Each structure stands twice: as structure tokens, then as C-alpha cells.
Amino acid sequence: MTDHEPFSILFEDDYFVAINKPAGIMVHRTGISEDKVFVLQLLRKQLGNKRIFTTHRLDRGTSGALVFAKNQESARHLGEQFMAKTVSKKYLAMLRGWLHEPAVIDYALTDKESNKGALDAVTRYAPIANSEIEAAIGLRYPTARFSLVEAMPETGRRHQIRKHFAHINHPVIGDIRHGDVKQNKYFRNVFNFYRMMLHARSISFQHPENEQEITIEAPLGEDFIQGLELADLTFEE
């Protein structure tokens, strides 16, 4: 992502602006990051240096729907909805192995950076498609299996979806921190494919102006589609 590539605007009014965040860029500066550019500064520039406020974040490697507020009151309004767990978010994730039935992962998570204890964390998911390709990634099998799932987090813990799928032994493909080292290495070395296969497909919340629910959807990028094709998976938008 460079300063010359404008973000795709998914929604904009006097209260909010939502973009389709590409993978590989952080939302904003952090104390431990050495990144030089961030979504927040680039989007401000794209909007004519107007002030905007973060309302939530996506990990650097995650793409998809990302909402900013145009004023503090709108940011507060949406923040209260996040706290009340009334914001609905849906993600697409490509995982190692096969999953066949919808289920709920209810597993408390800790965050070492915040020094907090284990916090409740719940993720619902529903399988969309399965595939199997000829790829001797490990020593035991001549093929590799993958699943495409829709994940719906009911809480917003750091790296929640990534940690939850790793917990049930179906890690997200391309997840360097929580994923499968052999799978990730295979995709890098054989396919020259580096991105993490997690995409924020949609976000729904109540608009402060009219209290009507709005849903913002983020189409899949070419890189995510490429990852699906490498695993012989398809998704109908």
C-alpha cells in the first residue's frame, strides 16, 4: 500500500466513512510498531486532511470492512454499540483441515500486551466449502485439506478469530503468529503467496441519525481470491 493508492470507499455520509482495508497495513500507530504508514493517516489525506476517528481495528494482515467516525459523537455512539455487543461482524477465513458443521468456540483468551487475565471470548462459525489438493505439506499425507468458513465473533478480543481457530486445530492459512508453520511455508515457497486468509466481510450497526441498522459489505480482493483458488476453493459473492 502506497500513498498513491486510494482506499476503496464502501460507505460515506456526514457521520462515518468505511473503507475496504487491504491486507498488509496497520490501522494506526502503536507503541511497538515500526511501520511508516497507517490507514488512519492515508485516509485522512485521501479525504482532504479531514479529521477522522477510529472506531475499531483490523489486524495488519486482515482485509475488509473498516469504519471510521467523522466526529467524536459518532465515534462515541458506535463505541457504545461495540461495548453492548450489538455490532454484527462477519468474516471469511480459509483454514487448515475440514470443518463440516456450524459450531461455537467459547474459549477465554488472554492478551500478554495488556497484562489482563483471561477474558470471555465467543466465536460462532459456519463452514461454506471444503477442498483437498495434491500437496505433500507434511510427512504423513500426500494431500492437504482446507475449509472456507464464515466466522461471527460475539466478542472483540485481540486476535480472537485467529486464536480461536488455532485452538481447535484449524488455524488460519497465512497466520504467522498463530498458524501452521509448515502450511504457511508451503504457500510462500511453492505459490509465492504471503497474505493471511482472513477478510472482514461485513459490519452492521445502528446509525445515530435515524437509529436504522446499516450493513456495510466489503468485496473480496484479488489476493484473497487468489488464495482461495490455490486451495481449489470458490466463494459466490
CA–CA–CA angle 177, 179, 180 (5° rounding): 130
**165 neighbors 93 (Cβ within 8 angstroms):** yes
Of residues 216, 201, 106, the one with CA closest to residue 155: 106
Decide if 13 is catalytic. no
Catalytic residue among 3, 59, 223, 232: 59
d(CA 34, CA 61): 15
C-alpha cell belonging to residue 148: 472456507
Instruction: Find where cell 497474505 sits.
Output: 195
Distance CA 71, CA 12 (A): 13
**Residue 42, CB half-sphere, CA atoms under 13 Å: how many?**
22
Amino acid at 151: A
Active site residues: 59
